Amino acid sequence: MNYREYIGRDHKVMLGKPVIKGTRLTVELILRKLGEGASPGELLLLYPQLTEKHLQVIMQFAAELVANEDHISAAS
């Protein structure tokens, strides 16, 4: 599965943040909602344009970002 088929960026949409293509739903919003305890089922109800495939792709996108970046400092 290639997340680029589902996630895009356009400086005219949501200030260029990664979004689900064809929507204004940012990857950040969905990840924050999941981090706050929302279930995938709740998100699918809240955002009818969102699909299970989108949720999988968002997780793949996030995993790839984390794998390629050093965002968390090592504990001292």
CATH code of 43's domain: 1.10.10.10
Nearest to 18 by CA among 72, 52, 61: 61
Is 74 part of a structural domain of the chain? no
Spell out a b/e string for 22-47, using b for 16 or more CB atoms within 10 Å of the CB, else e: eeebbbebbeebbeeeeebeebeeeb
Looking at residue 68, its pLDDT comes to: 82
Q: Report the length, in residues, of the chain.
A: 76
Structural domain boundaries enclosing 18? 3-68
Is 58 part of a structural domain of the chain? yes
The single-letter DSSP state of residue 14 is: G
pLDDT in tens, 36-70: 999 999 999 999 999 999 999 999 999 998 888 76
The total number of structural domains in the chain stands at 1
| Contact predicate 19/7, CB 8 Å | yes
In the numeric block, which tokens belong to residue 35?
């981090």
